[in-house]
Amino acid sequence: MSDKRWPRSVYGVGTEPDARFSFANERTFLAWIRTGLGFVTASVAIVALTTLKPDLNVEAHIAALVLAITGVGCGVHAFVGWARNERRLRQSKPLPSSPLMVLLVLVLVVVATITVILVL
């Protein structure tokens, strides 16, 4: 029986790793997806709140846009990171670090700071 799993760029490389490592990689993928959904949800909530306080319209929409873009970035990173890590597991190579974590912290700090300033 031939292996028909997709993407071939992942499953067509190396040897089958211990299933526990693949499952851990999948859980990491899902965690990145949840993080992205959280950012997008916060973005939607901010836009919804602008209906209650219209004088924050421009600043709130900028913050919402930054959060939405960050959420999309998390989703893209989830798949790209999963594929990269799974390939490396299959090749018995060390896993790389993720520079996106630093960017997420910066976005969160900037948006939170802007929110505090606007609320005060």
The rounded distance, in Å, linking the Cα atoms of 110 and 106 is 6
Where along the chain do its domains lie? 17-119
Place of tokens 């505090």: 116
Q: For residue 20, is pLDDT > 70?
A: yes
pLDDT tens per residue, range 33-63: 999 999 999 999 988 888 887 777 787 888 8
* Angle at the Cα of 82 from the Cα atoms of 77 and 85, rounded to 5 degrees: 115
- Quick one: pLDDT band at residue 115, thresholds 50, 70, 90? confident
Q: What pLDDT was estimated at residue 4?
A: 85
With 70 as the cut, is the pLDDT of residue 1 above it? Answer: no
In the block, tokens 């040897």 appear at 15
Residue whose tokens read 């939170």: 112
On whether the CB atoms of residues 22 and 89 are closer than 8 A, the answer is yes
Spell out the residues 6+ positions from residue 46 whose beta carbon is closer than 8 angstroms to its own: 60, 61, 63, 64, 67
Q: From residue 16, how far is each of 10, 20, 44, 84 by CA, in Å? A: 11, 11, 41, 15
| pLDDT value at residue 114 | 80
Chain centroid offset of residue 43 CA? 14
- The rounded radius of gyration (Å) of the Cα atoms in the chain is 19
Q: What is the pLDDT of residues 48-105, one digit of tens each?
A: 888 887 777 787 888 899 999 999 999 999 999 999 999 999 999 999 988 888 988 9
